[in-house]
A = this chain, B = another copy of it.
Amino acid sequence: MPILPFDERLDQLLSAAARVFADKGYHATTMRDLSRASGLSLAGIYHYVAGKEELLYLIQHRCFEQVFEGAQAVVDSQPEAVARVRAFIRHHIAFFAAHMPEMKVLSHEADSLTGERDAEIRQLKRRYASLLADCIEALEGPDPRVAAYGLFGMMNWIYTWYRPDGRVSPEALADVFAHVFLHGAAEPRPRAAAANAGGPPDDQRRSG
């Protein structure tokens, strides 16, 4: 037995690969990049995975199973429609912020898999989207499919601009998104709780 057992070394490899894929994009990263980032030799990588695409598949599959399981749990714990949607948003954003590279790869490299691996991930994606769409349908608002995809866009897009260690905490971000999606940006927020962590708790209520 070497320093690390097989499974843990594989986890390390997948984690390093997720970071590089997120940073440079799947097609633009080379196996030599992954060799450098993982500490394995170029050939050594192939002891753990069959090839580059399997690496991407494993990252996406593991990540998806995790978000889905967590989302299912928090949604089930809420009986009421608005609370279920809010819980989904909070969980999705929290998970996203805690697994930025993997979630970015999941969002940005959705078309980079092929064949059966592609089909399997697409199916997971459909199930996850349905979970949210079903919650939204109970709101009896606009077209649930359109609204759900709109909300996914709002949330998934954060990989292009949001930094979890910046001025806006993941919790504050989720609250803003939940408020905007449920009640709209033209409505004042009920409590102070803007997006800034430190500053004065600027009150949101409109003047007139």
Query: A142 and B25: CB pair below 8 A?
Result: no
Confirm or deny: A35 has a beta carbon within 8 angstroms of a beta carbon on chain B.
no
Q: How many A residues, CB 8 Å from partner?
A: 51
Contacts of A176 in B (CB 8 A): 142-143, 146-147, 150
Contacts of A160 in B (CB 8 A): 110, 149, 153
Confirm or deny: A152 has a beta carbon within 8 angstroms of a beta carbon on chain B.
yes
User: Of A1-9, A39-47, A66-74, A181-189, which binds chain B?
Assistant: A181-189
Q: Among B28, B111, B149, B154, point to the contact of A151 (Cβ < 8 A).
A: B154
User: Of A11-19, A56-64, A133-141, which binds chain B?
Assistant: A133-141
Per-residue contact bits, chain A 144-162, to B (CB 8 Å; 1 contact, 0 not): 0011011111111110111
- Please give the count of copies of this chain that the complex contains: 2
Q: How far does the alpha carbon of A158 sit from the alpha carbon of B185 in the complex, in Å?
A: 20
Quote the shortest CB–CB distance from A146 to chain B (angstroms).
Answer: 5
Quote the shortest CB–CB distance from A188 to chain B (angstroms).
Answer: 7
Query: B182 and A136: CB pair below 8 A?
Result: no
Q: How far does the alpha carbon of A151 sit from the alpha carbon of B82 in the complex, in Å?
A: 20
Quote the shortest CB–CB distance from A87 to chain B (angstroms).
Answer: 14
Interface of A with B (CB < 8 Å)? 25, 27-28, 82, 85, 108, 110-112, 136, 139-143, 146-147, 149-158, 160-162, 168, 173, 176-177, 179-189, 194-196, 204, 206-207
